[in-house]
Amino acid sequence: MAKINEITPHVLSFDALIKETIKQSIKLMEYFRLHLIYYQLISGKGLEFEKIVDYTSDLRRIDWKKYAKTGKLAIRAFKEERKFDIVFVLDVSDSMLLGSTEYTKNQFAAIIAGALGFAANDAGDNIAITMISDKVEISTEPSGDYYSILNMISNSHYYGGNKQWSKLLQILPQNYDSDSIIFVISDFIDTEPKTFIPELAANFSKVYGIMIRDPLDNTLPKGVGKIYLTDKNGSKYLADFDKAKKDYELLNKKIIKHVRNVFEENGQLFLEMSTDMDFGEAFMEALGKTEVIIS
């Protein structure tokens, strides 16, 4: 049987990634105005009010107090904030190459990075990508070259390997300014976030975690029965998967809760998504709401 690192990783082609990114970005815009969601996610606050202008077509931004006083419809205009450097840290290790749904975890992660990168590019922000396994496969400088980023994400050469998260503490502070916004996109399997999240949170403006899980990461299918397994020392043993199912699920719930707690204890946002969901729906569910109120 071939080892996983001897298999060519299955990644979305550039054209497929572009197609899916555009589809999901449009869907998100329809759901909750992606550029405003993106702005609040990055800036951590509503857009800054600047002035009242004549009403055109956006009912959500009507200033009703102004209307009550004058009888004229007007909307609120907002100042354009400074631009940001957005860094996507993409886990490309072996565990991300697996999947039991339409998309493997690495493909789902690529779509997320593509859609959020689309939002960043549309907002005029600079974007960068760091692809990491047990080595830093690639780490780019922040720029407006969105399609170059997608080309890298869709290159199977950069996928595969073990996890070595300590390298993030070396590469990110060295390559990116302290006011950069970091998105860590991973399944967080075989990962101890306490070893790198607190330090990253101390070094950067924001560090957001986006956990990508396949259904089989969290639960075992019924009826698997007994299977002989070999541990890392070469010893074989008989595992009863049906008996282990409940313990497996409880263990993964604890792991997910632990990862979430580490991010939240350090004042950072953590989102959990599953590959058996539509990305737009998963993103809305992860945020916990379908509409953002601009204050």
What is the value of pTM for the model shown?
Answer: 0.74
Q: Which of 187, 133, 189 is nearest to 159 (CA)?
A: 133
Spatial separation of the C-alpha atoms in residues 226 and 138, rounded to whole Å: 41
Give CATH 3.40.50.410 domain extents, the chain: 4-43+82-287
Spatial separation of the C-alpha atoms in residues 25 and 44, rounded to whole Å: 21
What CATH number matches the domain at 4-43+82-287, 3.40.190.10, 3.40.50.410, 3.30.300.180, 1.20.120.1200? 3.40.50.410
Confidence of residue 165 (pLDDT cuts 50, 70, 90): confident
Are β-strands 126-132 and 136-139 bridged in parallel, bridged antiparallel, or unpaired?
A: antiparallel
Q: Which of 264, 130, 139 is nearest to 198 (CA)?
A: 264
Regarding predicted confidence, which is higher, 160 or 293? 160
Spatial separation of the C-alpha atoms in residues 96 and 98, rounded to whole Å: 6
Regarding predicted confidence, which is higher, 4 or 230? 230
> Which residues are CB-contacts of 13 (< 8 A; sequence separation ≥ 6)?
154
Spatial separation of the C-alpha atoms in residues 149 and 237, rounded to whole Å: 45
Are β-strands 74-78 and 49-54 bridged in parallel, bridged antiparallel, or unpaired?
A: antiparallel
Confidence of residue 47 (pLDDT cuts 50, 70, 90): very low
Residue 55 has pLDDT above 60, yes or no: no
| Predicted local confidence at residue 39, as pLDDT | 60
How far is CA 112 from each of CA 212, 267, 279, rounded to the nearest angstrom? 10, 22, 8
Locate 100 and state its tokens.
Answer: 């039991």
Of the listed ranges 34-43, 101-110, 175-184, the least confidently predicted one is 34-43
Regarding predicted confidence, which is higher, 203 or 68? 203
Range from 72-81, 189-198, 282-291 that averages highest in pLDDT: 189-198
